[in-house]
Amino acid sequence: MLLAGATTFAPSWADHAYALWGQPKYGPDFAHFGYVNPDAPKGGELRLVSNLRNSTFDKYNPFTVKGSAPAYLSNLMFDSLLMGSMDETASGYGLLAEEVAVAADGLSVTFKLRPQARFHDGKPVLAQDVKHSYDTLVGPHTSPGYKTMLAEVEGCDVLDARTVRFRFKAANRELPLTVGGLPIFSRDWGAGKPFNEVVMDIPIGSGAYKIGPVVFGKDITYVRDDNYWAKDLPARKGSANFDRIHIKIYQDNTAKLEALKAGEFDMMRFFSAGDWARRVDGRKFKSGELVKGEFEHKQPTGFQSYVLNIRRPFLQDVRVREALGLAVDYEWMNRQMFYSAYQRVNGIFGNTMCQTTGEPSAAELALMQPFGKELPPAAFGPMTVPPRTDGDSSLRANLRKAQGLLAAAGWTVQGGVLRNSQGQAMVLEYMDSGDAGQRTVAPWQRNLQKLGIQLNFRAVDFALYQQRLQKFDFDITSIAYQGTNNPGQEFADLFGSAAADQEDSGNFPGVKSKAVDAFIQKMVSAKTEQELLPACHVLERAIAHGHYLIPQWSANTHRMAYNAWRLEHPQVIPPYSSGEGWVMDTWWARKPPLTAATAQPAIKQEGK
């Protein structure tokens, strides 16, 4: 279908990739990504265990709000117009699209689809499918995060059967990557039903894997599509090597660890420093069948945090929020509970070029000055540094500072209980989806008691936890924000004023700030790194000095135990891999698997 005006469209097709800044790492004639083994054998099975908080699933549609989809379904089943590489941060290479052209004015991007691109049902991937996917994702039945992320997209036009154009409301260097990364699915998926009624219909995607055998509540298997259309593309060489990826589901963490030791699955990623240091052992580790691997990465630290919901009256004063953070004794926790395995998070852009330190620059001050009355005065000074309890610092001094902040906010201790001028006691609830978090919250609870604050730990089942998060019905919880090297419109969902009142948005703390909105818009509209960085810095200062989040911790390695007798991996470790994603995408099965008789007597632990 040719839309009105499309006859005047005549792009100069040339680009195999799009880079946010500068040139992509791989040129148009690249043979494969540098971190894969292009000769990796195909076959075998990868047995994984789901690390999702709620591993069970009740639908196959990962895009609608209600219900839970199987782990990894979206990544394995849906291709996109562009795909990123794991060894750079801001480039997209043609996957469904063979070429990409960005208009000279930056107000649109056009993709030319590959003639060989096919869905799992054998039908070609056409421009109408791309438009259908976009229209569906910004429609009424999907997560509001998509609508926020795509808020600056004016629309999607079908120019001909295999040419599609996205129009933007304003020039934005990130948007070609954003729309290029959207999951593309067939118009036939759901047979025309309203999208919220597409629940158990098998997705019709174009990715390397399809849904295979399923046992609800126990496991799901993805099977490699023997006719996968992209298997010989340079961007997919050496990837999707397993015939089957079998995902096991365990509700109990202890049972999951014991199943690994018994050899029931091939790889498990660890997020508990205690488990990694003390409980990942046993006969199969001594024999070398199972190996502990710590794989260094250069991923953003993310900003895993205690989230303070400022919709709650007790948490609306920034001084109260700062006082709560002063009661966290991270150094003690890291020594006594985490085996010194973590680094403290600070800000929202850690380990990226946007990370903020020191005093604001002249460019940053120029962005902040119009909002002088709205921003905390401290934002115009040095960047926050999380309070410490080692060296010249102490928990006692931090708690004294917290007492001063609480007193200034109108809270005083009466009979050992912190009360405001109306006599209300400071009682807060920490909500979690299980009991596992109690151990790390307990030291904070004890320190808050010294300030007269009662923090109650409330564990709820995951369905209720998810519902309460969607409705912002909590005082405090923990969120593991992933972070990004390329911040953009998604931050409007995380911290934008419009998202604060939008149910199921990502703005869990409820930030409503004209300054924050302006900084996000400035960041999104930046045309150069020189414009981007000051905008990132002032946004990070506003969030950090607003004390909406109490920073937790991060690790600079992927801790993964895996079966070295059944699996092999490339020698090059991509710096921006996601851990499990690297394993599923680039590892392969040994042929034949090693046994006790054929294996080397000792396979040393992989170091950092």
pLDDT of 243: 98
- Element (DSSP H or E) covering residue 454: strand 454-459
Full-model pTM: 0.85
pLDDT of 3: 36
pLDDT in tens, 100-130: 999 999 999 999 999 999 999 999 999 999 9
> Rounded CA gap, 349 and 484, in Å?
7
Which residue segments constitute the domains of the chain, with CATH numbers given? 6-197 (3.40.190.10), 305-554 (3.10.105.10)
pLDDT of 12: 41
pLDDT of 365: 98
Give mean pLDDT, residues 361-376. Answer: 96
- pLDDT above 60 (res 7): no
586: nearest Cα among 68, 345, 240, 140: 240
pLDDT of 116: 98
Q: Which of 136-140, 304-308, 340-344 has the lowest mean pLDDT?
A: 340-344
385: nearest Cα among 451, 326, 445, 340: 326
pLDDT in tens, 392-443: 999 999 999 999 999 999 999 999 999 999 999 999 999 999 888 899 999 9
The residues near 414 (Cβ < 8 Å, ≥ 6 apart) are: none
Q: Which of 2-16, 504-518, 540-554 has the lowest mean pLDDT?
A: 2-16
pLDDT of 239: 98
- pLDDT above 50 (res 13): no
- Element (DSSP H or E) covering residue 353: none
pLDDT of 14: 54
- pLDDT above 50 (res 2): no
- Phi, psi for 440 (deg, rounded to 5): -85, -25
pLDDT band at 55 (very low <50, low <70, confident <90, very high): low
- The two structure tokens encoding residue 300: 């953003």
pLDDT band at 272 (very low <50, low <70, confident <90, very high): confident
pLDDT band at 53 (very low <50, low <70, confident <90, very high): low
CA max distance for the chain: 79
Give mean pLDDT, residues 529-555. Answer: 96
Question: 59 by DSSP, 3-state: which?
Answer: coil
Question: 159 by DSSP, 3-state: which?
Answer: strand
Give mean pLDDT, residues 304-313. Answer: 98
Overall residue count recorded for the chain in this entry: 608
- Phi, psi for 547 (deg, rounded to 5): 50, 40
Give mean pLDDT, residues 75-86. Answer: 97
Q: What percent of the chain has pLDDT over 90?
A: 84
- pLDDT above 70 (res 605): no
- pLDDT above 80 (res 606): no
pLDDT in tens, 245-267: 999 988 888 899 999 999 999 99
pLDDT in tens, 212-250: 999 987 899 999 999 999 999 999 999 999 999 999 988
Q: How many CB atoms lie within 10 A of CB 175?
A: 26
The residues near 475 (Cβ < 8 Å, ≥ 6 apart) are: 308, 309, 312, 314, 315, 428, 429, 430, 431
What is the DSSP code string of 4-45?
TTGGG------BSEEESSS--SS-TT--S-TTS-TTPPP--E
> Rounded CA gap, 520 and 377, in Å?
20
